[in-house]
Amino acid sequence: MDFFLQLLVNGVCVGLLYGISAMGFVMIFKASSVLNFAHGELLAMGAFFFLSLATWGKIPVAAAFVLTLAGCFLLGFLIEKFFLRPLIGEKLIFVIMLTVGLAAMFKGLILLVWGGNLHTYPEFLPASLELHLGSITIVPVYSATLVISVAFLVLFGLFFKKSSQGIFMRSVADNQKAALSLGVHVRRVFALSWAIAAMVACMSGIVLGIINGVNVHDLSAIGMKVFPVVILGGLDSIGGAIIGGIIIGLLETFTGGYLSPSLRDVVPYIALVFILMVKPYGLFGLVEIERV
């Protein structure tokens, strides 16, 4: 029973991480309908910026965090401006392959600058965040993850549902021409959504880095694992991303715990194929409204 509970808690924690990692991905999809294969590399960029600033630059953690977010905001903005803007309205495969190309570029760049080794951050989370549930302990990073993911969920939920900027973003994703006709600044919306999404991604990268250490290969593998998570939750639902993340996390830890550790990494993709066959728009995604 204890084993089961421990697996449950681990699963939820890992799942929350996946959920957080997926949020930036969902944002990009929501605002510009782009499937971002470079997401894992964006996570890594954030984690490494922070690493350089906090560990090697000896800048206080809070300042380094803010600087990293600002840097990633700029990075997202530049990616949109130089790479994705020329492709607005192009065929799906070009957009997908562009992000694949970007992923290779970023990965190469990161490996060139920081190398492929595992790096770790200094400890900076207060130990008081440690939670005890009966016999089970939740380490500070996980409770911090929980807090961060809930905060982001609420924040983005409000942003997209209530704020004008959020509604404009959704309108652009929905019908670009109509949005243009109403004076929505479409280019600005695209730039902004990439900037924000990159920022969210890099924040997730930092959280992942705190827990697992910073390594390009691991982070880009997580970028791939985002796919089952978002498909399960629905590609355009941020809440769905968190829930999808938790389900995938549980699936992984239970498979790893009870069936076989080697199956662990592939089980999300098996689940993915089944979901696609049964419920292609995910648990919380919008069903495509197609009228002729």
Residue of 124, 158, 165, 258 interacting with another protein (CB under 8 A): 165
- Centroid of chain to Cα 6: 25
| 5 lines the binding site for another protein (CB under 8 A) | no
| 127 lines the binding site for another protein (CB under 8 A) | no
Q: Minimum distance between the CB of residue 27 and another protein, rounded to whole angstroms?
A: 15
Buried b (16+ CB within 10 A) or exposed e, 118-136: ebebeeeeeeeeeeeeeee
Of 22, 45, 25, give the one whose Cα is nearest residue 33.
25
Considering only residues 69-88, where is the footprint of another protein by CB under 8 A? Answer: 83, 86-87
From the list 5-13, 51-59, 95-103, 136-144, the region that binds another protein by CB under 8 A is 95-103
| 159 lines the binding site for another protein (CB under 8 A) | no
Considering only residues 12-41, where is the footprint of another protein by CB under 8 A? Answer: 35
Q: Minimum distance between the CB of residue 89 and another protein, rounded to whole angstroms?
A: 8
| 158 lines the binding site for another protein (CB under 8 A) | no
Residue of 62, 74, 136, 180 interacting with another protein (CB under 8 A): 180
| 170 lines the binding site for another protein (CB under 8 A) | yes
| 133 lines the binding site for another protein (CB under 8 A) | no
A 10 A CB-CB count for 143 gives 16
| 184 lines the binding site for another protein (CB under 8 A) | yes
Separation CA 60–CA 23 (nearest Å): 27
24 CB-side CA count, 13 A:
33
Residue of 67, 224, 250, 283 interacting with another protein (CB under 8 A): 224
Dihedral sign of CA atoms 139, 140, 141, 147 in order: positive
In the block, tokens 């990439």 appear at: 194
DSSP H or E run through 38: none
Residues that contact another protein, how many (by CB under 8 A): 65
Buried b (16+ CB within 10 A) or exposed e, 205-228: bbbbbbbbbbbbebbbebbebbbb
Q: Minimum distance between the CB of residue 114 and another protein, rounded to whole angstroms?
A: 10
- For residue 88, the one-letter residue type is I
Residue of 98, 191, 201, 232 interacting with another protein (CB under 8 A): 98
Residue of 62, 147, 178, 259 interacting with another protein (CB under 8 A): 178
β-bridge mates for residue 132, sequence order: 137
Separation CA 51–CA 61 (nearest Å): 10
Provide the phi-psi class of 128: left if phi over 0, else alpha when psi is between -120 and 50, else beta: alpha
Residue of 111, 118, 151, 158 interacting with another protein (CB under 8 A): 111
Q: Minimum distance between the CB of residue 244 and another protein, rounded to whole angstroms?
A: 13
Which residues contact another protein (rule: CB under 8 A)?
A: 35, 83, 86-87, 90, 92-94, 96-98, 100-112, 115-116, 164-165, 167-168, 170-171, 173-185, 224, 227-228, 231, 235, 262-263, 265-266, 269-270, 272-273, 276-277, 280, 286, 289, 291-292
